[in-house]
């Protein structure tokens, strides 16, 4: 899904202007904020439940329908007010059109949560990817025809329409209105809801500020830069986190196994986040020129700093899942609200003093980084995961990230060319130096049962399968 999103962004960036992206991005700030109200975690409550009944499913669906309808109405009434802050009248009509997405989102079939509950990730994959493909195809076609921001709006609506329709095609469950288990579901999901709201707010603070001080075109550049910068990290981390909750829920009665899973996820996150964040930072100049084109050159420094921020932000992605499974979703909500308050104070101060978008991106990275130790300490105190285990899981990827950055920097000091050849060479050298450093340090550490062990095991299985189907030469007798 993330890869489809990246390809879509690349194509649309060449067909549309930064201003087109900015108009939709401004509208989506408030549409997304209202839609957060429907992320009450009722689906997660069912996944976590040992034996949910039909009443649980019906009650969860009823909550979604009512909240989705209320959100749609709220967006319609709030849309005219955005003109006073953003000074962009076109966002009003866009918001009013996108109110339909909120209503349709509330109607999605709650039966699809069984894809996660039963660990049917094949169906989960089809359900999510098919809707994304439909949205991608329609948006690109309309962008070729319309050449304006309405292509983006139509694509967003088409994606939600297809997702809601497919939910009833793929799941035989037919929900009914019911309030029988509302209180039980809400007692868990209210904290998930609050955490989702806080998470969304702290990821949108910079967008809101930039939209108010820098105008539509700069907002478009910042939005696209953030998407391109975060995509390499998110396209790997998000599926891992999605699979983590139902798997952890199966072993929540075994603290040792639960902590082992969490630390394994932390090791994977560190390997992915450091490599993608540092990697994109080091190749940002060639990446922007080749992927987005000349009209997006101003976004180059933004891509680098936002890539590092995306890596740091996703580093502890499994923490909320661990707290949810252990029945402490309120802790995750408190952590996210604390981050939101600090982010807001810092971003507002930096914006007021500098009015510089790049400085705002750097400030975001600094705050994200400073929060990592405090979250580690909080989880250590609450769940008993030793702080030294965090260090054991993360130090090798961070050391490898430094080696990779140094290798790419040294290479670029002697290369007489730039563009696609340099980008390809940077990627090859960076990947080779990163992987080699991680594996050497893992070997020197005594080959612990960690993410590096998983990677080598998976690679071995893949090579064995390739050998069985005849793609590798057979060894001589």
In tens, the pLDDT along 391-429 reads: 888 899 999 999 999 999 999 999 888 888 999 999 999
CB 31: neighbour CB atoms within 10 A? Answer: 26
The answer as to whether 313 is a domain residue is: no
Residue 420, pLDDT score: 87
Domain that holds residue 12: 1-38+54-180
Position of tokens 């405090």? 374
pLDDT single digits (tens) 429-457:
999 999 999 999 998 988 888 888 888 88
> Is the pLDDT reported for residue 386 higher than 60?
yes
Q: Which of 147-151, 214-218, 469-473 has the highest mean pLDDT?
A: 147-151
Read off the pTM: 0.71
Residue 38, pLDDT score: 56
pLDDT bucket at 295, cuts 50 / 70 / 90? confident
Query: Regarding predicted confidence, which is higher, 290 or 333?
Result: 290
- Which strand (E) or helix (H) includes residue 290? helix 284-291
pLDDT single digits (tens) 67-106:
888 888 888 888 887 777 677 788 888 888 888 888 888 8
Residue 388, pLDDT score: 81
With beta carbons less than 8 A apart as the criterion, state whether 279 and 406 touch.
no
The answer as to whether 221 is a domain residue is: no
> Is the pLDDT reported for residue 476 higher than 70?
no
Residues 428 and 416: their CA atoms lie apart, in Å, by 17
Show the tokens assigned to 167: 């939910």
Residues 241 and 256: their CA atoms lie apart, in Å, by 19
Arithmetic mean of pLDDT, 312-334: 79
Position of tokens 């969304």? 200
The answer as to whether 362 is a domain residue is: no
pLDDT single digits (tens) 107-139:
888 888 877 777 777 887 888 788 888 888 888
Arithmetic mean of pLDDT, 195-222: 79
Q: Is the dihedral of CA 355, 361, 364, 366 positive or negative?
A: negative
User: Which distant-in-sequence residues (6+ apart) come within 8 Å of 53 by Cβ?
Assistant: 181
> Is the pLDDT reported for residue 477 higher than 50?
no
How far, in Å, are 41, 123, 448 from residue 162 at the CA level? Answer: 22, 15, 45
> Is the pLDDT reported for residue 350 higher than 70?
yes
The answer as to whether 316 is a domain residue is: no
- The total of structural domains in the chain comes to 1
How far, in Å, are 40, 192, 328, 330, 337 from residue 187 at the CA level? Answer: 10, 10, 12, 11, 19
Residue 399, pLDDT score: 95
Residue 441, pLDDT score: 93
Residue 365, pLDDT score: 92
Q: Which of 136-145, 178-187, 366-375, 400-409 has the highest mean pLDDT?
A: 400-409
The answer as to whether 20 is a domain residue is: yes
Arithmetic mean of pLDDT, 291-308: 86
The answer as to whether 107 is a domain residue is: yes
The answer as to whether 192 is a domain residue is: no
What integer best gives the mean pLDDT of the chain?
Answer: 82
pLDDT single digits (tens) 12-59:
777 777 888 787 877 777 777 666 655 555 666 676 666 778 888 888
Residue 283, pLDDT score: 92
N- to C-terminal Cα separation, the chain: 45
> Is the pLDDT reported for residue 472 higher than 80?
no
Position of tokens 């550490």? 445
Residue 307, pLDDT score: 92
The answer as to whether 354 is a domain residue is: no
Arithmetic mean of pLDDT, 181-203: 70
């Amino acid at each position: 899904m993330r890869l489809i999103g990246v390809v879509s962004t690349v194509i649309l960036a060449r067909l549309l202007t930064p201003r087109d992206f900015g108009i939709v991005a401004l509208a989506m700030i408030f549409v997304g904020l209202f839609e957060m109200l429907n992320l009450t975690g009722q689906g997660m409550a069912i996944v976590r439940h040992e034996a949910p009944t039909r009443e649980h499913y019906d009650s969860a669906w009823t909550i979604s329908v009512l909240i989705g309808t209320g959100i749609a109405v709220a967006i319609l009434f709030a849309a005219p007010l955005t003109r006073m802050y953003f000074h962009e009248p076109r966002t009003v009509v866009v918001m009013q059109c996108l109110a339909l997405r909120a209503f349709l989102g509330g109607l999605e079939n709650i039966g699809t949560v069984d894809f996660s509950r039963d660990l049917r990730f094949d169906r989960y994959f089809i359900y999510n990817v098919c809707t994304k493909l439909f949205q991608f195809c329609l948006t690109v076609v309309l962008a070729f025809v319309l050449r304006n921001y309405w292509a983006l709006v139509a694509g967003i609506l088409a994606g939600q329409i297809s997702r809601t329709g497919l939910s009833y095609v793929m799941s035989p469950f037919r929900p009914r209105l019911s309030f029988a288990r509302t209180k039980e579901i809400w007692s868990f999901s209210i904290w998930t809801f609050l955490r989702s709201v806080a998470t969304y707010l702290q990821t949108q603070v910079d967008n809101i500020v930039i939209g108010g001080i820098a105008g539509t075109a700069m907002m478009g550049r910042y939005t696209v830069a953030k998407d391109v910068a975060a995509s390499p990290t998110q396209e790997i981390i998000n599926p891992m986190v999605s699979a983590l909750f139902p798997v952890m829920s199966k072993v929540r009665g075994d603290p040792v196994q639960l902590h082992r899973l969490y630390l394994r996820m932390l090791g994977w996150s560190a390997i992915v986040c450091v490599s993608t964040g540092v990697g994109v930072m080091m190749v940002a100049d060639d990446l922007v020129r080749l992927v987005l084109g000349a009209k997006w050159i101003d976004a180059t420094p933004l891509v680098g700093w936002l890539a590092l921020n995306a890596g740091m932000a996703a580093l502890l992605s499994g923490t909320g899942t661990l707290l949810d499974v252990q029945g402490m979703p309120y802790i995750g909500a408190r952590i996210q609200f604390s981050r939101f308050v600090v982010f807001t104070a810092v971003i507002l101060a930096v914006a007021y003093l500098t009015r510089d978008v790049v400085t705002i991106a750097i400030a975001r990275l600094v705050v994200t980084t400073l929060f990592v130790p405090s979250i580690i300490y909080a989880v250590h105190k609450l769940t008993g995961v030793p702080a030294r285990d965090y260090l054991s899981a993360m130090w090798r990827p961070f050391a490898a990230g430094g080696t990779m950055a140094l290798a790419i920097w040294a290479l670029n000091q002697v290369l007489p060319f730039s563009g696609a050849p340099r980008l390809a060479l940077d990627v090859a050298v960076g990947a080779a130096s990163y992987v080699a450093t991680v594996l050497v340090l893992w070997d020197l550490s005594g080959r612990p049962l960690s993410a590096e062990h998983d990677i080598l095991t998976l690679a071995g299985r893949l090579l064995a399968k390739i050998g069985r189907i005849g793609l590798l030469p057979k060894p001589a007798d």
